[in-house]
Structure 1
Amino acid sequence: MRFVDEVRIRLEAGKGGQGCVSFRREKYVPRGGPDGGDGGKGGDIYLEASERKHTLLDFRYRHSFIAPPGKHGQGQNKHGKGGQDLILEVPVGTVVKTVDTGEVIADLSNPGQRWLAAGGGPGGKGNARFVTSAVRVPRFAEDGCEGERKELVLELKLLADVGLVGLPNAGKSTLIAAISAARPKIADYPFTTLVPNLGVVQYADSPPFVVADIPGLIEGAHQGVGLGTRFLRHIERTRVLLHVIDISRIPRAEPLLPFNQIENELACYSQEIVLKRRVIALNKTDLVADAGTIETIASAYRQTKHPVVVISALQREGLQDLQKLLVQILNSVE
């Protein structure tokens, strides 16, 4: 299934039905008077957060949505039926923005949450509504009003407990495949992961938690380099960040360089992300023969005051310790 996380849609709520011009005509009822009914209200358009949806693919090729109009009023004071509401299901975590300013006008972060995106037009009044002492036989009625028309931007921000961040080829995809049932594409060239992947991790008897594999970040990601801003927004809703670092490529003169590169991009993108808890996973220990080198690098990373775990996702070494640590931290984070 193709992952789509940003779309632009056009909505047109239903038009209200016309009021009716009618007069009561019955045998033995002189001067029956007006009896035109009102038109029905046009259908509304709602956006509803659904756990059945995981991508905005439904809106990729169909951009325009029109709700049904209200029915016209009829004689004998019969009011028109209202147009049926149109409910568009979107993934949980969808943010709605205006096209012009990018202002956030709705945040559908809870399953079942429903938001009125475009209101249907009210129906016109029938001539029975206009009877007064001065106007006993009104021969006019109102037309229904147009429904709201809007253009909106839908943006999906994944909801995950743990977000994997790191440079390209750090081994994030291999890690999420090793600890969950996710099966991302894995290869030994940069930018193998082009879209975020989600995996559910079950450790011992603890409640399962969701891990998001965010595509590799590069310098300038906060400015959109390498589609960085599209990837960074998926980190905003995670509770814990897991830095995955390729220990085999760490420069000895500056061991913290990969960590600092990612931290700089995160800080430039959002100060809120800076406040999130972190865990550092030094990956690919199977490519480093010298145990002393591994310990030296691990000691350097412990100076960051973040928990450090040494792992090999490919060999599945250290993963139990990593999962246990993540569970403990998630239990302590709101």
Structure 2
Amino acid sequence: MFVDKAKIYVKGGDGGDGLVAFRREKYVPEGGPAGGDGGKGGDVIFRVDEGLRTLMDFRYQRHFKADRGIKGRNKSQHGANAENMIVRIPPGTVLIDDDTGEVLADMVRHGQQVVVARGGRGGRGNTRFATPKNPAPEIAENGEEGQERYLVMELKVMADVGLVGFPSVGKSTLLSVVSAAEPKIGAYHFTTITPNLGMVEVGDGRSFVMADLPGLIEGAHEGVGLGHEFLRHVERTRIIIHVVDMAGSEGRDPFEDWVKINQELELYNAALAERPQIVAANKMDMPGAEENLATFREQVQSERPDIEIMPISSLTRQGIQELLYRAAGILDAIPQEVHVEEVAETTERKVYKLDKKEEDNSFTITRDNEAYVVHSVKIERMLKRIQMNSHEAILKLARTMRHMGIDEELRKRGAVEGTIVRIADFEFEFVEGSSYY
């Protein structure tokens, strides 16, 4: 079974907590601070592995969480950094942030990798907070939380040749004839609803990968029918074999079908109009096919004289070998890789970039009955990091709030001695003199 789309959750490891510790050595009665920093949490890294072909594994494992860093130690020893989590993905995978819709990376080359969730920094131990005024601080930080996000993974088939055409024109039959693939074949529309891949041996030592892609209908570029589910795979193919029912089954017009399919491809991605294309005039064993082919050649040549038309019959195997030789010849003459827009090279900068709101001093204050509720990204982030189990930590928080102007604003709003001030999950009493208990 082919799986080309999956939604997963990734989380970088939390940083290790910093430690409050002091030197305890003989003949050193007043040892200074000796608490080490916590280690960094592991990153979640996606790496391309050309041995993978589907996203099947991501149907069964949807959560990927890296290990957290080791807590700081005494004697000023740093905790160890956690190992990064490496997740293998198939080439052709596009990574999209589910919340923002931003394309994080377009993974096409073997070994290419990108950080999708960074680990949190380790918390600082009390050694870091020593100053001439306070040479023995009893304050340390918790490790920073690792980045987390939901990702949508879309796999675009990495095939050399893509078979396109309206439903029931014989694409699956053609693939089954030229390769060992066993696609589902039936006498009804949309027998193929997921791409089928097959390795084609030309016969002279050359080979290539062919993909039987789901049938198109009008409006596919807007998502109608299988729409984008189909078109995303066409982008990856190096050449297109456009299969046309030359017998005109079900009253269809071969030329009209050819025009409509090309229009859908161009409307979805203009670059597809420039992709090398061979028209496989299929079902030549059926009555009326020869007459239709003559008319079809004239019509196509008037619009696209560069298009090569090759009559075939998947049933009798007429013209099949010639088609394979021609496809292999074109593949030899064009670049090995189709150019796709890559954003993976800049992804790490995007992932590591901090939100500017986390660094500013903006805040808002609301009322909840008798309590004042302070909303501040900077203060809430500080409360997550600082270990609020010492008087020094509370004083540090109070100083920060005073410098930001929160104390003054609370007084303007009517806060008095003993008023409850709530920030995130913490509650404090407002005390004149700008201290919180």
What's the TM-score, normalizing by structure 1?
A: 0.93
Residue aligning to 2:120: 121
- Secondary structure at 1:140 match in 2: coil
1-side partners of 2:316 and 2:14: how far apart? 62
Alpha-carbon distance in structure 2 between the residues aligned to 1:253 and 1:58: 41
Q: C-alpha distance in 1, partners of 2:33/2:221? A: 66
Task: Identify the residue that residue 321 of structure 2 maps to in structure 1.
Answer: 320
Which structure has the highest helix share of the two? 2
* Counterpart position of 2:285: 286
Partner of 1:187: 186
SS at match of 2:285: helix
- Report the equivalent of 1:87: 86
Find the residue that maps to 2:225 and give its secondary structure: helix
Give the structure 2 partner of residue 76 of structure 1.
75
Gaps spanning 5+ residues in structure 2: where? 336-437
Of 119-128 and 284-293, deviating more is 284-293
Per the normalisation by structure 2, the TM-score is 0.72
Shift of 1:50: 1.4
Counterpart check, 1:245 vs 2:251: no
CA distance in 2, matches of 1:290, 1:120: 63
Map 1:1-334 onto structure 2 (within 5 A): 2-249=1-248, 254-288=253-287, 291=290, 294-303=293-302, 304-305=304-305, 306-334=307-335
Deviations 1:216-261 (A, max 9, x none): 1112211222221111110012111110011112699954111012
Structure-1 separation of matches of 2:79 and 2:99: 36
Structure (1 or 2) with the larger CA radius of gyration: 2
AA partner of residue 319 (structure 2): G
Cα offset, 1:263, TM superposition: 1.2
From the superposition, tell whether residues 252 and 6 of structure 1 become closer, same or farther in structure 2 (CA, over 3 Å): closer
Q: CA deviation at 1:103?
A: 2.8
Q: Name the amino acid aligned to 1:309.
A: M
Unaligned runs of 5+ in 1: none
* Matched residue SS, 1:226: coil
Does the Cα contact within 8 Å between 2:248 and 2:289 map onto a contact in 1?
no
Give the letter for the 2:160 counterpart: D
SS of 2:280's partner is strand
Alignment partners' CA distance in 2, 1:100 and 1:263: 33
Q: What's the secondary structure of 1:8's corresponding residue? A: strand
- Conserved in 2, the CA contact under 8 Å of 1:250 and 1:258? no
Measure, in 1, the Cα distance between the counterparts of 2:139 and 2:182: 66
Matched residue type, 1:53: L
CA pair 59-255 structure 1, distance change in 2 beyond 3 A: closer
| Deviation of the 1:78 alpha carbon | 2.3
Counterpart residue type for residue 220 of structure 1 = G
Q: Which string of whole-angstrom CA distances, capped at 9 and with x for unpartnered residues, describes residues 48-107 of structure 1?
A: 111232122222344332211111111122221222211222110111123244332211
SS at match of 1:230: helix
Higher relative contact order (CA 8 A, sep 6+): 1
Q: Which amino acid in structure 2 is aligned with residue 314 of structure 1? A: L
After superposing the two structures, state which structure 1 stretch, 310-319 or 62-71, moved more: 62-71
In the alignment, the residues of structure 2 paired with residue 253 and residue 317 of structure 1 have an alpha-carbon distance, to the nearest angstrom, of 22
Q: Distance in 1 between matches of 2:201 and 2:289?
A: 32
Instruction: Rate the CA distance shift 1:217–1:258 in 2: closer, same or farther, 3 A.
Output: same
> 37-46 or 71-80: which moved more?
71-80
Distance across 2 between alignment mates of 1:92 and 1:165: 21
Residues matched between the structures, number: 333
Secondary structure at 1:89 match in 2? strand
Q: 2: CA distance between counterparts of 1:207 and 1:253? A: 36
Contact persistence 1:172–1:244 (CA under 8 A): yes
Q: Tell me if the contact between 1:298 and 1:310 (Cα under 8 Å) persists in the aligned partners.
A: no
Aligned CA-pair RMSD: 2.1
* Aligned equivalents of 1:36, 1:98: Cα separation in 2: 38
8 Å CA contact 2:214–2:226 kept in 1: the answer is no
Structure 2 contact 247–288 (Cα < 8 Å) conserved:
no
Per the alignment, do residues 233 and 290 of structure 1 end up closer, same or farther by CA in structure 2, a change over 3 Å counting? closer
Secondary structure in 1 matching 2:247? helix
